[in-house]
Amino acid sequence: MTMGKPTGFMEYHRQGNPSQPPLERIRHYREFHPRLGREERRRQGARCMECGIPFCQSGAVLGGMVSGCPLRNLVPEWNDLIYTGNLGHALDRLLKTNNFPEFTGRVCPALCEAACTCGLHGEPVTIRENELGIIEEAWEKGLIQPHQPSIRTGRRVAVVGSGPAGLACADQLNRRGHTVTVFEREDRPGGLLMYGIPNMKLEKSVVQRRVDLMAAQGVTFRTGADVGRNVAAEELRKGFDAVVLCCGASKPRDLDIPGREADGVYFAVDFLKETTRALLTSGLDGGGHPSARDRQVVVVGGGDTGNDCVATCIRHGCAHVVQLEMLPKPPAARREDNPWPEWPRVCKTDYGQEEAIALFGHDPRIYQTTVTGLIADEQGSLQGVQTVRLDGALKPIPGTEAVLDCQLLLIAAGFLGAQEYVPQAFGAVLTPRTCVGTAAGQYATSVPGVFTAGDMHRGQSLVVWAIREGREAAREVDHYLMGYST
């Protein structure tokens, strides 16, 4: 195809969505990136060059990491349609590969932008924000409307878990004409999207809006339904023609250290979940959630979840917060052994860390450091954490022991895999990583009629990968039910 503005990448500079200043946004839990106006968004679409080989949509594994979009979004096509002002066609091309652009446009780390050809010698196209601009303008203009399938197949499918994989799978199967029921153990659908990601990154009204649309299109949601506990696996096996397990990798990695039993220690996922639940039910005024107010906080883990904890603790009104990372600090720019279009292994200062710098005057991250023990008072309440520095081989360096004041410790050290009780209830085989086992590249478990997708299948990963897995699993389920798939 010929781009509408072949010289756009030379004429226009990258302009991202503006950001509310850190000291202002920490006063609330709302999103803080207002979108660009239509004309500026058109110019950002025009920056997509006629590069010939769009690595942005490749989803290829380079250097051990994925480069470009795993969904293989048709990025150059809808960037061009943004520039030419054809919102309807841009929306059609966007939704062809991505069920939920309003989620990925907010929380995806933008693998596409890291592989953008414009980024080789300059700044990449604002692909993620362009995607978000399309879908949000479409919602505003009423282009997103519920459409029931014209024909129902008579087949019934149960999807266990309503995170991004479960929602994508349910959406695809419903469009095909199967009758889909989604079982969610929490009080609201959305899984990771609802309770794992803070409201300031993804407002929960955005999740509920999509759930409401899917319900209007014929998907049934059953909340408070904990399959394997208060809902028997046998009920699903008998009542449905297929079952898809999409429960996520929700078993957090713990710390095996002296004093772990002290009061004031929480897994990050529980801390974030209870904050969001309290925000939705009482505006955080009713208590009942772990609070960081006036406490010295230590977050163990340097990833996105750790950053979310930093931002959330600041909004609680913590006295101070630090974030411990075992690995060395990444470089500021790509090294020679990490060339474009590989994912750039560079230091990124995210929104929570920006807020900590603005509030406390320094980066909250302490690199090459780990926790070796916890200190509690006579009542068992946490008062401090013992730490030690690590060398390049992650071995403790003698003489670098220290104690940090701490009344709240948040463990954001990743996840080990799925909670076993759901797959065990169906008799599915687990891998050594406690993921649900399937043949390579497939989604059918060892139990006939039972499938799996998302983090429960591949391990802890990104929302964009969960959507891809949900879509691919839906296709396999469709083939199982019908003998072919559309």
Q: Looking at beta carbons, which pairs linking 55-62 to residues 24 or more positions away fall under 8 Å?
A: 55/115, 55/116, 55/117, 55/341, 56/112, 56/113, 56/115, 56/116, 56/117, 56/125, 56/127, 57/112, 58/115, 58/341, 59/111, 62/341, 62/342, 62/343
Radius of gyration of the chain (CA): 23
Task: Please give the average per-residue pLDDT across 338-350, as a whole number.
Answer: 95
Question: What is the tens place of the pLDDT at every residue in 55-80?
Answer: 999 999 998 889 999 999 999 999 99
Residue 446, CB-side half-sphere exposure with 13 Å CA sphere: 12
Euclidean distance between CA atoms 75 and 111, whole angstroms: 12
Euclidean distance between CA atoms 82 and 39, whole angstroms: 10
pLDDT of residue 2: 60
End-to-end CA distance of the chain: 27
Question: What is the tens place of the pLDDT at every residue in 419-457?
Answer: 999 999 999 999 999 999 999 999 999 999 999 999 999
pLDDT of residue 462: 95
Euclidean distance between CA atoms 367 and 471, whole angstroms: 38
pLDDT of residue 50: 82
Q: What are phi and psi of 160, to 5 degrees?
A: -100, 110
pLDDT of residue 1: 54
Return the CATH architecture of domain 8-140.
Orthogonal Bundle (1.10)
Euclidean distance between CA atoms 100 and 466, whole angstroms: 11
pLDDT of residue 140: 97
Dihedral angle of Cα 138, 143, 146, 150, to the nearest 10 degrees: -130
Q: What are phi and psi of 428, to 5 degrees?
A: -80, 150
Decide if pLDDT at 297 tops 80: yes
Q: 156-250+417-482 has which fold? A: FAD/NAD(P)-binding domain (3.50.50)
Euclidean distance between CA atoms 201 and 336, whole angstroms: 33
Question: What is the tens place of the pLDDT at every residue in 459-478?
Answer: 999 999 999 999 999 999 99
Decide if pLDDT at 405 tops 60: yes
Task: Please give the average per-residue pLDDT across 238-259, as a whole number.
Answer: 96
Give the torsion sign (CA, 222, 471, 33, 141).
negative
Q: Is the peptide bond before 341 cis (omega within 30 degrees of 0)?
A: yes
Question: What is the tens place of the pLDDT at every residue in 81-123?
Answer: 999 999 999 999 999 999 999 999 999 999 999 999 999 999 9
| Intervals of CATH 3.50.50.60 along the chain | 156-250+417-482, 254-413
Task: Please give the average per-residue pLDDT across 129-147, as a whole number.
Answer: 98
**Average pLDDT of the residues of the chain:** 96
pLDDT of residue 304: 94
pLDDT of residue 4: 73
pLDDT of residue 192: 94
Return the CATH architecture of domain 254-413.
3-Layer(bba) Sandwich (3.50)
Helix (H) / strand (E) containing 376: strand 369-376
pLDDT of residue 95: 98
Helix (H) / strand (E) containing 243: strand 242-245
Q: How many residues are present in the chain?
A: 486
Decide if pLDDT at 164 tops 70: yes
Beta bridge partners of 419: none
| Intervals of CATH 1.10.1060.10 along the chain | 8-140
Of 449, 427, 446, which is closest to residue 437 (Cα–Cα)? 446
Helices and strands counted in the chain (H then E): 17, 17
The encoded tokens of residue 470 equal 């949900």
Is pLDDT larger for residue 399 or for residue 2? Answer: 399
> pLDDT tier at 286 (50, 70, 90 boundaries)?
confident
Q: According to DSSP H, which parts of 346-454 are helical?
A: 351-360, 421-426
